[in-house]
Amino acid sequence: AQKVTQTQTSISVVEKTTVTMDCVYETRDSSYFLFWYKQTASGEIVFLIRQDSYKKENATVGHYSLNFQKPKSSIGLIITATQIEDSAVYFCAMREGANYAQGLTFGLGTRVSVFP
Amino acid sequence: GGIITQTPKFLIGQEGQKLTLKCQQNFNHDTMYWYRQDSGKGLRLIYYSITENDLQKGDLSEGYDASREKKSSFSLTVTSAQKNEMAVFLCASSIQGVYEQYFGPGTRLTVL
């Protein structure tokens, strides 16, 4: 069965610095997709970035990038030049490739607080 | 672009009551999902639907029914509300389930 683990419950950073958060996953599939979502204080859940297991290059979108270490089953999220608005809960999620329509398996989230 | 709307935003029910939550999307996405989020926790899948009239159970389907009568809408029914069910229910959709899912704003359920 697939499993996603985020060990950091909360992280505090100073604005304009870089924050890194960890996520490890378990799967028996050779093909899978990894996602990061952000949940704001209002409860809105926003898709940020995706990594396909067969791609060696780390995905990058804006000031979000991933550190994909396949041998370690690890997919870290890096946010550079943080802003106050980046304060949120960040969820790592996974979908195995065998069933393209199945839902995502989520981690418990990491709360990031960005201070001036 | 598109949007997912969920109604109602807040739902208060009595223990044992049957309650229905509704979700509409105008992305023209094929696949739709219902997740439950308990306070301070991650999301867990209740039901999903690949297309109109299709229903697939997730890990948390016991105590729930779902209905997908149109491509654009997906309803979730709590068959007998329990006090330990107080949570936020989130609807999502995606293109054939391959890519990322887009989420609605949620329905917060309170059971008295």
Q: State whether residue B6 sits within 8 Å of chain A by CB.
A: no
Mean pLDDT for B6-10 is 97
**pLDDT number for residue B17:** 95
Answer positive or negative: Cα dihedral of B1, B28, A52, B36.
positive
Give the distance from CA A22 to its chain's centroid.
8
User: Does the structure show a pLDDT above 70 at B97?
Assistant: no
CB B103 within 8 A of CB B88: no
**pLDDT number for residue A97:** 76
Asked whether the beta carbons of residue A106 and residue B42 sit closer than 8 angstroms, the reply is yes
Planar angle of CA A96, A97, A100, nearest 5 degrees = 105
pLDDT tens-place values along chain A, 116 residues long: 789 999 999 999 999 999 999 999 999 888 899 999 999 999 999 999 999 999 999 999 999 999 999 999 999 999 999 999 999 999 999 998 767 777 899 999 999 999 99
CA-based nearest distance A83→chain B, Å: 23
| Strand partners for A37 | A47, A91
**pLDDT number for residue A68:** 97
User: Does the structure show a pLDDT above 80 at B1?
Assistant: no
Q: Does residue B13 sit in helix, strand or coil?
A: strand
pLDDT band at B7 (very low <50, low <70, confident <90, very high): very high
Cβ contacts below 8 Å, chain A against chain B, sum to 54
Set of chain A residues whose Cβ sits within 8 Å of the Cβ of B106: 43
Set of chain A residues whose Cβ sits within 8 Å of the Cβ of B33: 103
DSSP class of residue B83 equals G
**pLDDT number for residue B96:** 74
Set of chain A residues whose Cβ sits within 8 Å of the Cβ of B29: none
